[in-house]
């Protein structure tokens, strides 16, 4: 059974049929969203049914876009632990802290969630070659699922991306192109070759299905908290797919009768070396100006311009959330604090969420008795160069 009714433009509301390939809205060039018959799903499946299912993101299959079971590829993505951070909480004097440990996903980041969905659906719709510009983790995830689905993968990464990201793509059989520039330059070059080589582009939010994969974080958090949501979610934001996706998931879950209308305040964290969303949020802008000379060790946050900028900013405002920039040093310092207290080797992006938490707690924007989820979006292992090789004492 599948409950997709159509695709809908997030901006101009144009409706499109779901059984053919689309990238951005053909009319206004903004992201497309997948719509489901939620009334019918509500009659078909309950929260208790979900509880007994397999431990990967296909447990939410009724609200996912792939139709046939043979295309529901999996490497075990999703169902990551939501860890109550008792030791860290003791250290920083806050008792309501949880870490969603997305580093446990296949290819060690939450990009696996988005790309399992995009690649599975692309295969179902007959795609013969896949293309992605990536600052790091997305390329590895696409390569993994492309290998599993038997589709050739073409990856475009900045040439200064750390070696483990390149190694991973190569080992997974992708064709890797290293570009002298940023992810936006990679995107331009990848786009130039799409038509001549008949490749399908799975850039963030430039096709509708990565968002559907990433929204499962919203379903999972609710399920893991007993179908309640926290007061605050702190999310390291690049293209914003996870943030926008979770917000969509909350809305769907309320319509399904699985949660009530209470929503978390959503917080975007970026690096002070690349903070287009923070700047736009502070200025009250609807869209974000591209960031010049983007520079940060958090490769997932080195995104100077995002096609879903208005959706990120809208989510932050609707949720009474906020946007915070932290320095690369603060990220690493916070990553070490998580490592030393909780035993998790987190990415700088994950560290950024704790650094942001500390700033917001200091201002009392987060209050003492609130429940807060930090998203560690990836493992530290692909970033080990940031810790050097010298001994510690
Ligand atoms: C891609 C990435 C991000 C940013 O995710 P978006 O959903 O695109 O905002 C954050 N952290 C890591 C580790 C990433 O790989
Ligand atoms: Zn449109």
Residue 364 domain-assigned (yes or no): yes
**What is the DSSP pairing of strand 372-376 with strand 232-236?**
parallel
Residue bearing the CA closest to ligand 1, atom 14:
300
Ligand 2: distance of its center to the CA of 392 in Å?
54
pLDDT tens readout for residues 220-258: 999 999 999 999 999 999 999 999 999 999 999 999 999
Token pair for 307: 């096609």
Residue 193 domain-assigned (yes or no): no
Q: pLDDT at position 104, please?
A: 98
Tell me the C-alpha to C-alpha distance, in Å, between residue 7 and each of 16, 46, 54, 89, 113: 5, 24, 28, 43, 20
Domain range for residue 92?
Answer: 82-109+210-392
Q: pLDDT at position 130, please?
A: 98
Number of domains in the chain: 1
Q: pLDDT at position 288, please?
A: 98
Residue 346 domain-assigned (yes or no): yes
For ligand 1, mutation pick of 102, 349, 383 (most atoms within 8 Å of CB)? 349
Q: pLDDT at position 388, please?
A: 85
237 lines ligand 1 (CB under 6 A): yes
For every one of its 393 residues, what pLDDT tens digit does the chain have, with 9 covering 90 and above? 799 999 999 999 999 999 999 999 999 999 999 999 999 999 999 999 999 999 999 999 999 999 999 999 999 999 999 999 999 999 999 999 999 999 999 999 999 999 999 999 999 999 999 999 997 899 999 999 999 999 999 999 999 999 999 999 999 999 999 999 888 889 999 999 999 999 999 999 999 999 999 999 999 999 999 999 999 999 999 999 999 999 999 999 999 999 999 999 999 999 999 999 999 999 999 999 999 999 999 999 999 999 999 999 999 999 999 999 999 999 999 999 999 999 999 999 999 999 999 999 999 999 999 999 999 999 999 999 999 888 876
Ligand nearest, relative to CA of residue 140: 1
* DSSP type of residue 382: G
Residue 300 domain-assigned (yes or no): yes
Q: pLDDT at position 234, please?
A: 98
241 lines ligand 1 (CB under 6 A): yes
For ligand 1, mutation pick of 142, 169, 213, 239 (most atoms within 8 Å of CB)? 239
Task: Specify the pTM.
Answer: 0.97
315 lines ligand 1 (CB under 6 A): no
CATH at residue 383: 3.40.50.1100
Residue 51 domain-assigned (yes or no): no
Contacts of residue 372, defined as CB under 8 A and 6 or more positions apart, other chains included, come to 94, 96, 97, 98, 230, 231, 232, 233, 234, 357, 366
Query: Is 245:214 a contact under the CB 8 Å cutoff?
Result: yes
Q: pLDDT at position 393, please?
A: 65
167 CB neighbour count, 10 Å cutoff: 13
Ligand nearest, relative to CA of residue 307: 1
Ligand 1: distance of its center to the CA of 267 in Å?
14
Order across the sheet with 32-36: list the strands: 15-16, 4-9, 32-36
203 lines ligand 1 (CB under 6 A): no
Ligand nearest, relative to CA of residue 376: 1
Residue 328 domain-assigned (yes or no): yes
Ligand nearest, relative to CA of residue 13: 2
Closest CA to 366 of 265, 250, 220, 257: 265
Contacts of residue 293, defined as CB under 8 A and 6 or more positions apart, other chains included, come to none
Ligand 1: distance of its center to the CA of 384 in Å?
17
E strands present in the chain: 4-9, 15-16, 32-36, 82-84, 97-101, 130-133, 153-158, 175-179, 200-201, 232-236, 265-271, 322-326, 372-376
For ligand 1, mutation pick of 184, 300, 304 (most atoms within 8 Å of CB)? 300
111 lines ligand 1 (CB under 6 A): yes
Q: Which is the closest atom of ligand 1 to the Cα of 347?
A: 13
For ligand 1, mutation pick of 105, 136, 137, 182 (most atoms within 8 Å of CB)? 137
Residue 323 domain-assigned (yes or no): yes
């Amino acid at each position: 059974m599948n409950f997709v009714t159509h695709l809908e433009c997030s901006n101009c509301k144009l409706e499109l049929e779901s059984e053919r390939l689309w990238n951005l809205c053909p009319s206004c060039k903004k992201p497309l969203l997948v719509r489901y018959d939620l009334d019918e799903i509500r009659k078909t499946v309950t929260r208790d049914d979900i509880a007994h299912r397999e431990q990967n993101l296909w447990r939410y299959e009724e609200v996912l876009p792939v139709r046939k079971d043979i295309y529901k590829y999996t490497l075990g993505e999703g169902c990551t632990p939501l860890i109550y951070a008792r030791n860290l909480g003791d250290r920083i004097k806050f008792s309501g802290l949880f870490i969603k440990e997305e580093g446990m996903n296949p290819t060690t980041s939450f990009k696996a969630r988005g790309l399992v969905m995009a690649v599975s659906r692309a295969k179902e719709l007959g795609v013969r070659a896949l293309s992605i510009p990536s600052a790091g983790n997305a390329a590895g995830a696409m390569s993994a699922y492309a290998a599993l689905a038997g589709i050739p993968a073409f990856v475009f990464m900045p040439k200064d991306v750390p070696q483990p990201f390149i190694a991973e793509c190569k080992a997974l059989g992708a064709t890797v192109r290293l570009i002298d520039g940023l992810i936006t330059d990679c995107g331009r070059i990848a786009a130039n070759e799409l038509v001549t080589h008949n490749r399908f582009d799975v850039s963030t939010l430039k096709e509708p299905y990565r968002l559907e994969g990433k929204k499962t974080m919203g379903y999972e958090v609710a399920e893991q908290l007993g179908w309640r949501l926290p007061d605050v979610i702190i999310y390291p934001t690049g293209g914003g797919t996870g943030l926008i996706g979770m917000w969509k998931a909350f809305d769907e879950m309320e319509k399904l009768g699985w949660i009530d209308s209470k929503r978390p305040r959503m917080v975007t964290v970026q690096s002070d070396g690349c903070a287009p969303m923070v700047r736009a949020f502070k200025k009250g802008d609807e869209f974000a100006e591209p960031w010049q000379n983007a520079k940060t060790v958090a490769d997932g946050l080195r995104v100077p311009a995002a096609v879903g900028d208005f959706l990120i900013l809208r989510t932050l405002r609707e949720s009474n959330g906020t946007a915070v920039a932290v320095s690369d040093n603060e990220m690493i310092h916070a990553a070490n604090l998580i490592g030393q207290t909780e035993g998790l080797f987190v990415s700088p992006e994950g560290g950024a969420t704790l650094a942001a938490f500390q700033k917001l707690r200091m201002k009392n924007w987060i209050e003492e008795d609130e429940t807060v989820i930090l998203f560690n979006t990836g493992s530290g292992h692909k970033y080990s160069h940031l810790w050097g090789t010298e001994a510690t004492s």
